[in-house]
Amino acid sequence: MICYCCRAVHVSCVVVLTKPTNLLILSPPTTTTVQIVLLKGWHLDDEDMTRAAIARSNIVINLVGATEETRNFSFADVHEAWPARLAAAVADAPRVERLLHFSDMGADADHPSARMRSKAAGDAALRAAVPGATIFK
């Protein structure tokens, strides 16, 4: 397969959106058939970087989630608004063949927890925009 990122031949190309971090990120050996492209400095509201990464991808995996609300992001921001925006971007990206979304086993619109209700709302928004998406619970 020709990598959309660097135009080299790889079996897979992984584009990782990550916020700035001091963690050491190890790349695979150069003989691997997987190319990893790390886009540092991503923010949940960064539509441009998100769309740029998705434009390079044929599979999108959403692992974004929160166990606590912060002063910057509520459960609705992380679990409802973000999956809806991501799904809209995926729906507009012709190269994307598959969207994988990691939710939560307890996600339910009637759950007593605001976190689980927000997860369920995000799942529904994602499914509405990309009906073929795979949602893991």
Contact 67, 104 (CB under 8 A): no
Query: Kind and range of the H or E element at 16?
Result: strand 12-18
Domain containing 100: what range?
Answer: 44-136
Could you list the beta-strand ranges (E) of 26-128.
34-40, 59-62, 98-102
Higher pLDDT, 77 or 6: 77
Q: What is the pLDDT of residue 99?
A: 92
Number of domains into which the chain is organized: 1
Residue 92 is assigned to a structural domain of this protein: yes
Name the least confident of 24-28, 41-45, 72-76: 24-28
CATH number, domain at 84?
Answer: 3.40.50.720
Mean pLDDT of the chain: 80
Residue 5 is assigned to a structural domain of this protein: no
Global confidence as pTM: 0.78
Residue 15 is assigned to a structural domain of this protein: no
Burial 39-66 (b: 16+ CB within 10 A, else e): beebebeeeeebbebbebbeebebebbb
pLDDT digits (tens, 9 = 90+) for 113-133: 999 999 999 999 999 999 999
Residue 8 is assigned to a structural domain of this protein: no
